[in-house]
Amino acid sequence: MKVERVAPVVAILLIVVGILSTLHVQSLQEKADGNYIKINGNEFIVSEFTESCSEKEIETSAGETYTGISLSEMINLSGIKNPGEYKYEIIGADGYSKIVEWNHIKKGIFSIGEKETIFSDLPKQFWVKDVAEIKVI
């Protein structure tokens, strides 16, 4: 008899846990798909940078021209003290990451539309698409 009473309670608990898990995963996915970027552990809305950072045009060694906002200004606005003393790991939403030094950050841009970092002095394998996070190392 007790098993007959416990089984529906367990089933209801499993359903509630499933619903809550689904809601949590959806909220994380929306944040990842959204217009957010995490820099040094703090989340920023990308549009905040577009209002505060200057637009910059760079030409790559292959002769291609790209436009975006200054990556160094983004780092400076994020509140990192003495940014030139660190390296930066740029991480894409898919987990792809590259580590770059400050002198490369100063020559780089952040393309808003693709959420991509582009560097005039580094090969394309250092460019990260769909940037989710920039860690200070």
Band the pLDDT of 55: cuts 50, 70, 90: very high
Residues 97, 85 share a domain: yes
For residue range 69-85, what is the model confidence (pLDDT) as tens digits?
Answer: 999 999 999 999 999 99
CB distance 111 to 66 below 8 Å: yes
Residues 40, 9 share a domain: no
Residues 117, 130 share a domain: yes
Total of domains in the chain = 2
Residues 43, 26 share a domain: no
Residues 88, 27 share a domain: no
Residues 9, 46 share a domain: no
| Parent domain of 21 | 1-33
Residues 65, 52 share a domain: yes
Tell whether pTM > 0.85: no
